[in-house]
């Protein structure tokens, strides 16, 4: 990776809907482990019913932070598109508010992304990220007793082969996307996948059709506590409906 990519600014887009406690933890880890002189953060508050979310966000005053409050609930995919539209040139990281970041996370992801011109998206490993879950694949893993998130990240980095294995789609909890991909295929399909579940699959399938691949950054660990915005019945319904759409659109890839 050349120096130009090392110095490239990234927009970190965090869609928010309630879950204020998770957001505070996420932002604490972001401030601790991110170069905020180089990169910036865009938080999209999707008309959270909890008034404390807006109060908290309005109380933040950082040069690296932009906060957008939606007057109506637009849905996850529209929020991502709004975040991606805030700049025309920067690569982006789509980051869930229920994540905890770890040391050197972003430079490692950028290094992975620019290790090959074919790579369109990058996903780190996590305790809870289906295809990128460790140590148990496609499971929600609980950290061993007395093991911190930082310690888990140290172990992952030390044990990594730095192979950046190819995966079928990126995982939306922490998804790095090159700006060139967005310029080529557009943003998320917010009309179809308004509230989420399947939007990153649709995006990745479109990118793959244009020759890009998706990889796992196997030396970077980010903790993901899980979904708190939706109740389980809603989630199951969205998954079923959107999975049908994906199979219809991309029968070979699915």
pTM over 0.85: yes
pLDDT in tens, the chain (254 residues): 444 455 789 999 999 999 999 999 999 999 999 999 999 999 999 999 999 999 999 999 999 999 999 999 998 899 999 999 998 899 999 999 999 999 999 999 999 999 999 999 999 999 999 999 999 999 999 999 999 999 999 999 999 999 999 999 999 999 999 999 999 999 999 988 877 778 999 999 999 999 999 999 999 999 999 755 455 677 788 788 888 988 899 988 88
Pick from 175, 186, 9, 12: which is nearest to 89 by CA?
Answer: 9
What pLDDT score does 2 carry? Answer: 46
């Amino acid at each position: 990776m050349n120096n130009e990519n090392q110095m490239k600014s990234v927009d970190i887009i965090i869609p928010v809907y309630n879950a204020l406690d998770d957001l505070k933890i996420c932002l604490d880890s972001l401030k601790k482990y991110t170069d905020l002189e180089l990169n910036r953060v865009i938080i999209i508050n999707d008309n959270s019913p909890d008034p404390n979310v807006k109060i908290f966000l309005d109380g933040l005053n950082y040069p690296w932070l932009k906060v957008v409050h939606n007057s109506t609930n637009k849905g996850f995919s529209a929020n991502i598109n709004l975040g991606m539209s805030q700049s025309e040139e920067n690569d982006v990281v789509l980051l869930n508010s229920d994540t905890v970041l770890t040391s050197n996370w972003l430079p490692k992801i950028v290094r992975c992304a620019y290790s090959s011109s074919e790579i369109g998206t990058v996903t780190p490993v996590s305790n809870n990220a289906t295809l990128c879950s460790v140590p148990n694949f496609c499971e929600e893993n609980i950290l061993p007793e007395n093991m911190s998130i930082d310690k888990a990240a140290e172990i992952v980095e030390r044990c990594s082969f730095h192979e950046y294995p190819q995966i079928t789609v990126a995982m939306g909890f922490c998804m790095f996307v090159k700006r060139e991909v967005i310029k080529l295929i557009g943003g998320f399909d917010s009309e179809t996948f308004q509230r989420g579940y399947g939007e990153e699959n649709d995006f990745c399938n479109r990118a793959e059709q244009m020759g890009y691949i998706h990889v796992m950054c196997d030396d970077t660990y980010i903790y993901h506590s899980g979904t708190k915005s939706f109740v389980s019945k809603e989630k199951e319904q969205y998954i079923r409906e959107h999975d049908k759409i994906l199979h219809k659109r991309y029968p070979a890839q699915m």
